[in-house]
Amino acid sequence: MNKADKVSFAIRTLEELYPTIPIPLDHKDPYTLLIAVLLSAQSTDVRVNKITPILFAKADNPLDMVKLSVAQIREIIKPVGLSPMKSKGIHGLSKILLEKHEGKVPQSFADLEELPAVGHKTASVVMAQAFGVPAFPVDTHIQRLMYRWGFSNGKSVVQTERDAKRLFPKEKWNDLHLQIIWYGREYSPARGWDLEKDIITRTIGRKSVLKKHGF
């Protein structure tokens, strides 16, 4: 297979496995998605989904969030980790949304990335999942699989995102980044990996990866 054939095989397989694609983080609108994605940094979606209902019961919009103190937010979100930084970020960005954006989450990468504790990946998730703007957020699963499939050298998230956007059709970015995440969790995890079940890697994977695992 050449590179184009491999890309087509990956897309086709992912679409067959995930014709409907669940959103990993529970949310009801762009603001609650933004907060959930911020909380997910160096944590798990499962853990975040246990904490956000508690937080959102007290504050699910910027106005109510700024009524809480940073300490109160921190106490609620402690289980997801990095709570000192995340609590300041949540309080700070909520204040900015009220002051500069009429309490609404802005629909631009530049405005999102100016918010406290919001980096490019978080902005990309919000743009893709809340507003339907083509983006390709790269998490650890995508980084791992793009390397295993020989689609990127895996040296940096920036390079992986660039390679993904170059290889995959733009109209499929928003679906594919989620499909790859689910595939990575279910068929190609970092630990406990069974290459027999991982049909995409087994079929198109990097030769050095396959050789290392006896294929």
Tens of pLDDT, residue by residue over 118-148, are 999 999 999 999 999 999 999 999 999 999 9
pLDDT above 70 covers a percentage of the chain that reads 100
The whole-number pLDDT of residue 113 equals 97
User: Which CATH number, 2.60.120.10, 2.40.50.100, 1.10.1670.10, 3.40.605.10, labels domain 3-21+137-212?
Assistant: 1.10.1670.10
The whole-number pLDDT of residue 116 equals 97
Q: What is the torsional sign of CA 181, 186, 190, 195?
A: negative
Residue-wise pLDDT tens digits, 161-178: 999 999 999 999 999 999
**Residue 38 binned pLDDT confidence (cut-offs 50, 70, 90):** very high
Whether 87 contacts 78, CB under 8 Å: no
Q: What tokens does 62 get?
A: 């910027």
Whether the per-residue pLDDT at 45 is higher than 90: the answer is yes
Average pLDDT over residues 4-27: 96
From residue 85, alpha-carbon distances to 53, 90, 91 in Å are 20, 9, 10
Whether the per-residue pLDDT at 197 is higher than 90: the answer is yes
Candidates 6, 86, 121, 163; catalytic one: 121
- CATH assignment, 30-131: 1.10.340.30
Name the residue among 103, 101, 187, 96 with its Cα closest to residue 141: 187
| Three-class DSSP labels, the chain | CCHHHHHHHHHHHHHHHCCCCCCCCCCCCHHHHHHHHHHCCCCCHHHHHHHHHHHHHHCCCHHHHHHCCHHHHHHHHHHHCCHHHHHHHHHHHHHHHHHHCCCCCCCCHHHHHCCCCCCHHHHHHHHHHHHCCCCCCCCHHHHHHHHHCCCCCCCCHHHHHHHHHHHCCHHHHHHHHHHHHHHHHHCCCCCCCCCCCCHHHHHHCCHHHHHHCCC
Other CB atoms within a 10 A radius of the CB of residue 191 amount to 4
Mean pLDDT for the chain?
96
**Known active-site residue 175:** no
In the chain, which residues fall in CATH 1.10.340.30?
A: 30-131
Whether the per-residue pLDDT at 212 is higher than 90: the answer is no
The whole-number pLDDT of residue 171 equals 98
Whether the per-residue pLDDT at 154 is higher than 80: the answer is no
Residue-wise pLDDT tens digits, 58-75: 999 999 999 999 999 999
Candidates 139, 163, 175, 198; catalytic one: 139
Q: What tokens does 205 get?
A: 């994977």
**Known active-site residue 155:** no
Whether the per-residue pLDDT at 189 is higher than 90: the answer is yes
Whether the per-residue pLDDT at 181 is higher than 80: the answer is yes
The whole-number pLDDT of residue 155 equals 86
Average pLDDT over residues 25-39: 98
Residue-wise pLDDT tens digits, 96-116: 999 999 999 999 999 999 999
In the chain, which residues fall in CATH 1.10.1670.10?
A: 3-21+137-212
